[in-house]
Amino acid sequence: MGTGEILLKVDKIEVTYHRVITAVQGVSLEVARGQIVALLGNNGAGKTTTLRAISGFIGMDDARVSEGSITYRDRRTDRLQPHEITRMGVVLVPERAKVFENLTVAENILASVSGRKDKEQAALAYEYFPQLVHLRRREAGYLSGGERQMLAIAAALVCAPQLLLVDELSLGLAPRIVSELVERLQRIREELGLTIVLVEQNATVALEVADHGYVMENGRIVLDGTAERLRAHDDIREFYLGHAQGERRNYRDVKQYRRSRRWYG
């Protein structure tokens, strides 16, 4: 799915923390309108840093985009503040600090509501996550991990996003909950016409729902392609899709190993 129109373009960005530590180097990716794009890789690969750079929240981590550019709907965004980017329709569901723990479910959803249209969006959030209706008066700090993830996505919908950035959808959640969340994201994409960038360590989950994927290692993109192509790729199957034997290695190690096996075999 997708129109072919490029909604988001990340062009050779470098992200530097504390002005000295380079975490992301030369990362480029494109997201077409209506697509679900997965950003895959192990912990520390640079996925979250890339997502926070796109959303503008990177400045809160004492980091900045020191090279390259990020463009959303033909407008340069890598020097904008998070609230400016959110107003443009780019909304982040973060990995950490997903909800306001001392507020109830209803208060979390209404936190950014200011007018009638926003209240209609709040009703839409409950429509996509009906489990939250019965939890409206519960403080978010007492929710399960799956309920917090539902609340975080529901609260993001109130902001009427056009591009939804979801960081680690499945982290720490039971497979049944993950399947339910994936189904909801697919429905949201299809019915609301949203474009979604999904950061995931679980490649199996991500490639089930994504149209296109990018694989990150050590702050760089090492492979990209359609979800179908990545699922069929030998190196991706061996490392990311559970077919590796023995000690786990990174993508580059697997690739080098396979090359040497072909050379000496």
Tell me the per-residue pLDDT of 240-264, one tens digit each, with 9 for 90 and over.
776 443 344 555 555 554 554 444 3
Report the C-alpha gap between 73 and 156 in whole angstroms: 20
Identify the domain containing residue 73 by its residue range. 6-232
Report the C-alpha gap between 106 and 88 in whole angstroms: 25
DSSP state letters, 115-149: SHHHHHHHHHHHHH-GGGGGGTTSBGGGS-HHHHH
Mean pLDDT of all residues in 28-52: 94
Query: Phi and psi dihedrals of 79, rounded to 5?
Result: -115, 10
Burial 69-98, CB ≥16 within 10 A → b, else e: ebbbbeeebbebebeebbebbbbbbbbeeb
How open is the CA angle 177-170-61, to the nearest 5 degrees? Answer: 140
Burial of 137 (0-12, 13-18, 19+ CB in 10 A): exposed
**Domain-embedded: residue 154:** yes
Residues in the chain: 265
β-strand pairing of 195-200 with 212-217: unpaired
**Domain-embedded: residue 134:** yes
Residues 63, 17 contacting (CB under 8 angstroms)? yes
* End-to-end Cα, the chain, rounded Å: 41
Q: Is the dihedral of CA 49, 54, 60, 64 positive or negative?
A: positive
| Residue of 224, 217, 230 whose CA lies nearest to 256 | 217
**Domain-embedded: residue 247:** no
Distances in Å between the Cα of 263 and the Cα atoms of 175, 220, 244, 258 are 40, 26, 20, 9
pLDDT, tens only, 130-169: 999 999 999 999 999 999 999 999 999 998 899 999 999 9
Global pTM reads 0.87
**Domain-embedded: residue 197:** yes
Based on the structure, what is the number of domains in the chain?
1
**Domain-embedded: residue 238:** no
Q: Which amino acid is at 145?
A: G
**Domain-embedded: residue 29:** yes
Token pair in block for residue 11:
């062009």
pLDDT, tens only, 182-218: 999 999 999 999 999 999 888 888 998 999 999 999 9
**Domain-embedded: residue 93:** yes
CATH code, 216: 3.40.50.300
**Domain-embedded: residue 239:** no
